[in-house]
């Protein structure tokens, strides 16, 4: 959008907000700041005005037409409803304001959070009239390790946020769980934060599919530079970030889906969805709880399963059960050797 049109839209919005009565197109057109409506061709002028109205409506401005009276049918005009345009006065209780402040502080403390300045401005507005007793103690933090990697991840979050907004393709060197590094081009669709880890959901041109990447396993990340300012890509219309952010690590596509059966201990009852996600199918037989899952990333699944010990027994497939038994056996041997030493 050109600077001239942006200025015209702001002038139109300010005019309608400050007017005490509806304004017709003829009245608006006669003002000096709306020369774009003063064309020799009346239809072209009206089309320019209609485009500006549509843009304001698309931006959420409650613009509407009020018709004239029976005595003055031509006396109608346009207004912006102030009650719908402005946010209502917030009447937060002290506890609600404190919780909101804690949540905002936690976001601002998160390295690489892309909307830090906006949150800080919002918190400043909420506390404009509050008398704060000097420096307040830190009451919230984010579980991201404050080491050298945290700073790097913060920079990558900012880069990914800009890439999503501008549709800029990225070059990525990514290390798999097995330690192999592969270079690939990605179109970032969205970023999310879960359990202290940042992830990006992106279309991977190497795999020709949508994949989820762990920012901590990125060896390098940079924008693909081009002289063409046109975005490289746009988000698919049916893309929903929540569909990917709710996935568990073992659902990331590393291989074809494998049907898995677990037997859970009594300690896990009532926590099945929390532990294994909403897609897990729960079955009860003879007082025992069984879980059916589809797993497409075996290594990630084993990493989740190992700390659970006897609370989650892998029953099928048999080949995975044998592999897990070997892992437990090797771990037990290491502990025995360590104790003997």
Q: Residue 49 domain-assigned?
A: yes
Which pLDDT score is estimated for 281? 92
CA distance 107 to 96: 17
Quote the number of domains for the chain.
4
Domain final residue pick, 197, 213, 246:
246
Domain final residue pick, 45, 65, 85:
85
CA distance 108 to 18: 36
Chain centre to alpha carbon of residue 33:
40
CATH code at position 239: 2.30.30
CA distance 65 to 13: 14
Q: Residue 40 domain-assigned?
A: yes
Q: What is the CA radius of gyration of the chain?
A: 29
Task: Please check whether residues 44 and 14 belong to one and the same domain.
Answer: yes
Q: Residue 21 domain-assigned?
A: yes
Q: Residue 99 domain-assigned?
A: yes
Q: Residue 265 domain-assigned?
A: yes
CATH code at position 270: 3.30.70
Do residues 13 and 80 lie in contact, with contact meaning Cβ atoms separated by under 8 Å?
yes
Range of the structural domain that residue 298 is part of:
258-340
pTM of the model: 0.50
Q: Residue 252 domain-assigned?
A: no
Task: Please check whether residues 265 and 217 belong to one and the same domain.
Answer: no
Domain final residue pick, 36, 68, 85:
85
Q: Is residue 148 packed enough to be buried (19+ CB in 10 Å), middle (13-18) or exposed (0-12)?
A: exposed
Q: Residue 195 domain-assigned?
A: yes
Q: Which two tokens stand for residue 136?
A: 């307040």
Distances (CA, A) of 206 to 110, 161, 182, 202, 250: 31, 22, 9, 11, 21
CB atoms within 10 A of CB 143: 9
CA distance 300 to 298: 6
Task: Please check whether residues 271 and 188 belong to one and the same domain.
Answer: no
Task: Please check whether residues 158 and 241 belong to one and the same domain.
Answer: yes
Which pLDDT score is estimated for 70? 59
Task: Please check whether residues 127 and 55 belong to one and the same domain.
Answer: no
Task: Please check whether residues 121 and 160 belong to one and the same domain.
Answer: no
Q: Taking the chain (341 residues) in consecutive chunks of 10 residues, what is each chunk's mean pLDDT?
A: 85 87 89 86 89 89 80 74 77 68 69 71 59 41 52 84 87 88 93 81 92 91 76 84 82 89 89 84 91 92 88 94 90 70 44
Q: Residue 253 domain-assigned?
A: no
């Amino acid at each position: 959008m050109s600077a001239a049109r942006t200025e015209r839209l702001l002038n139109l919005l300010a005019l309608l907000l400050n007017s005490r009565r509806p304004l017709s197109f003829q009245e608006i057109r006669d003002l000096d700041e709306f020369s774009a409506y003063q064309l020799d061709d009346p239809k072209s002028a009206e089309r320019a005005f209609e485009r500006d109205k549509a843009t304001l409506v698309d931006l959420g401005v409650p613009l509407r037409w009020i018709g004239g009276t029976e005595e003055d049918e031509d006396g109608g005009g346009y207004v912006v409803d102030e009650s719908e345009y402005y946010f209502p006065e917030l009447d937060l209780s002290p506890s609600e304001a404190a919780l909101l402040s804690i949540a905002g502080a936690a976001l601002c403390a998160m390295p690489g959070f892309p909307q830090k300045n906006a949150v800080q401005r919002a918190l400043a507005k909420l506390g404009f009239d509050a008398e704060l007793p000097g420096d307040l103690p830190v009451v919230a933090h984010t579980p991201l390790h404050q080491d050298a990697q945290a700073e790097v991840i913060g920079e990558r979050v900012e880069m990914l946020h800009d890439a999503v907004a501008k549709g800029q393709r990225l070059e990525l060197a990514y290390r798999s769980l097995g330690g192999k590094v592969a270079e690939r081009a990605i179109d970032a669709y969205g970023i999310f934060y879960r359990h202290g880890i940042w992830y990006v959901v992106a279309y991977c041109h190497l795999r020709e599919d949508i994949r989820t990447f762990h920012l901590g396993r990125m060896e390098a990340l940079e924008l693909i530079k081009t002289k063409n300012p046109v975005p490289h890509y746009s988000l698919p219309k049916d893309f929903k970030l929540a569909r990917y952010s709710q996935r568990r690590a073992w659902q990331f596509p590393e291989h074809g889906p494998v049907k898995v059966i677990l037997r859970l201990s009594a300690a896990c009852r009532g926590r099945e969805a929390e532990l294994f996600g909403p897609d897990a199918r729960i079955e009860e037989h003879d007082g025992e709880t069984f879980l059916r899952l589809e797993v497409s990333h075996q290594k990630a699944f084993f990493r989740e399963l190992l700390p659970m010990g006897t609370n989650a027994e892998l029953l099928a497939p048999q080949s995975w059960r044998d592999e897990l038994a070997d892992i437990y056996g090797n771990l037990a041997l290491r502990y025995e050797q360590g104790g003997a030493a």
